[in-house]
Chains A and B, each alone.
Chain A
Amino acid sequence: MNLFRLAGDVSHLLAIIILLLKIWRTRSCAGISGKSQILFALVFTTRYLDLLTTFISFYNTTMKVIYIGCSYATVWMIYAKFKATYDSNHDTFRMEFLVIPIAALSLLVNHDFAPLEILWTFSIYLESVAILPQLFMVSKTGEAETITSHYLFALGLYRALYLMNWIWRFFAEGFFDLIAIVAGLVQTILYCDFFYLYITKVLKGKKLSLPA
């Protein structure tokens, strides 16, 4: 565990909690893509199946359980508890366009052709693009609430910090995992445009809105 990874995990946790609190306190999931949240729930479920087979550490187990629990709670709030506020007309990204090709890719490019390993690989590939329905929704409506922008920033920052962690681990331990690194790079690049808008607009007190 190095500082980059710890900061990455904290940033990830913060993102998840910001989103949960935003929905809970405003009693509304307006502007939030339920499809991205379903994809994240799928990411955590397929990645953390090793909870059942391997114990790594108390920290590891706790964080995995929190991530899974929070992601299902978020999906439940969007599709059940606060369903009336869910903006489904703007959440039109087709999930199968991501899930099917990624399932095929994880069968073809993986470290080991074993069920848990393929599911882990699937989760890594899927996570890299799971935010697309949310970004698509923001670009479709042309704006995002400030709190939603904070969520997206924390979520993007998490993978950028993991990239730093992998650079650190490569030099400190000679460890690298090409699948995670390439997918992490793709994931971080997808957020770059958003990072630019966040820094130039949201941090200056303006709402995130896209030029018409």
Chain B
Amino acid sequence: DAIHTKHDEL
């Protein structure tokens, strides 16, 4: 989901 995938960015 969006909340978890965004943390792959710095």
Contacts and interface: CB of A to CB of B under 8 A. Distances in A.
A64 B2 CA distance: 20
A54 to B, nearest CB: 6
Say which size band chain B's interface belongs to.
under 10
A63 B9 CA distance: 10
A56 B7 contact: yes
Nearest to B6: A177
Interface residues of A, number: 20
Contacts of B3: 111-112, 117
Contacts of B4: 54
A162 B6 CA distance: 12
A5 interface: yes
A111 B10 contact: no
B10 A120 contact: no
A26 interface: no
A111 B2 contact: yes
Nearest to A44: B10
A130 B2 CA distance: 25
B9 to A, nearest CB: 7
A117 B7 CA distance: 10
Interface of A: 5, 9, 12, 50, 54, 56-57, 60, 63-64, 67, 111-112, 117, 120, 162, 165, 175, 177, 180
Closest 7 A/B residue pairs (Cβ): A177-B6, A56-B8, A111-B3, A50-B7, A63-B10, A112-B3, A9-B10
